[in-house]
Chains A and B, each alone.
Chain A
């Protein structure tokens, strides 16, 4: 039994879950800043991303060292490869939260449209739920749970479509135009966070089944599981 190797694997996985918790915090901060038009909080979110980046790099280096020194195979190899991908997906999610914070600052003085504001918060909550499901399915090695991310993603996509429909109605109104255009990006960003959560679910499936497969194929959406 390679005790130190197992400890290194466990440590990396714990760091990854810690990174996931940071991503949830940074996203919650971004959503609160958006809702309350809180520029100060938005700045905190932007600064907080450095913590995520530090952890991301630390995990990246840990994986590099582990690959070089332990040459993992079989389940260990799949776990290391899955962690490499999950690490990147989490870091991207945090970057998206920063994007939301930056856009929030740009329109902090503009009066928002309440129904759209409501839609964004709804999407944000769904994105948070998806991150939690992705992280839990990874921790519990739960394939069924990972696969539920497809349905959750469909909900977020649907809200995004509704958001865009409303934007088309509002974009002609001069006083809302800037806010609406910025918020299209926020909506898109939240939708992308959902996609990254699905990607994490796919890594969980790879870890458990050793098969590379996409839960949904963007070019053949009717064929998804």
Chain B
């Protein structure tokens, strides 16, 4: 019998290093302001492909502003100004010649409150593909999106019924189906389960776990346990108040979720996740 080879336990348990991952977003020195109010500043962070990245932090720390910068949702907000760079696969998202529509096609978004159109379930999902001229095999596309959002079995017999008749959790999954119908690469989710009951929340969390096989997910959540449950990596933002009393969101710590919730490096993270904040 051949001698047994020693098993390198360390190599097996070592999480894959950031270097081995593909960077989707490379955020460099991001500063975002509304008029004279700075929402976030000095944010440097890389978001990796096919992972769930959670953004947590207290109210007013700029986490929603941050995630909205990732698909240029703030562009139309009066007085909004952004400095620094957000590179998406190396391309400056805010560079000259970058098509905002194309940005949002590749980087989809789901909001806090389910916001289905007052149309049929089918038309909700088919709407964006139609607009983009993706009319070929539309039925298949709608079915695939609804299956991807774990909603197909519940709605396949009533596709022509109003989406407004669905439960809150189903509506939110419909919004996810709507977002993935145009096959984006990234899904941004801004507190996607905060308006849902625990069972609907669990189904959204389970869905996020499945979706990361095909998509890169970034979720803003004020529910720390949700971040702990669903995210591979977690970024903690906090509010930094300067001498003049002006507050701005800053990135305090960004790490593997397990590390952040068992042995955070920064005292501010420790205080926040253990509930001793403030």
A contact set with B: CB distance below 8 Å: 1-2, 5, 71-78, 210
Contact = CB atoms under 8 A, between A and B. Distances in A.
Contacts of A71: 225
A187 B261 CA distance: 43
Contacts of B224: 73
Contacts of A76: 274
| Secondary structure type dominating chain B contacts | helix
B273 interface: yes
A74 B225 contact: no
Interface in B35-58: none
User: Which 9 pairs between the two chains have the least Cβ-Cβ distance?
Assistant: A210-B263, A2-B275, A73-B261, A73-B273, A74-B270, A76-B274, A74-B274, A74-B273, A74-B264
Interface of B: 224-225, 228, 261-264, 269-270, 273-276, 278
Contacts of A2: 274-276
Contact of B262 (A1, A5, A210): A210
Given A210-B262, A210-B263, A75 B274 contact: yes
Given A71-B225, A74-B270, A75-B270, A1 B275 contact: yes
B270 to A, nearest CB: 5
A1 B274 CA distance: 9
A1 B276 contact: yes
Contacts of B264: 74
A75 B262 CA distance: 7
Nearest to A211: B263
Residue among B224, B261, B262, B274 with max Cβ neighbours from chain A (10 Å): B274
A49 to B, nearest CB: 34
Given A74-B273, A210-B263, 7 more contacts: A2-B275, A71-B225, A73-B224, A73-B228, A73-B273, A75-B274, A78-B262
8 contacts: A1-B276, A2-B275, A5-B275, A71-B225, A73-B228, A73-B273, A75-B270, A77-B262
A72 B273 CA distance: 9
Nearest to B259: A210
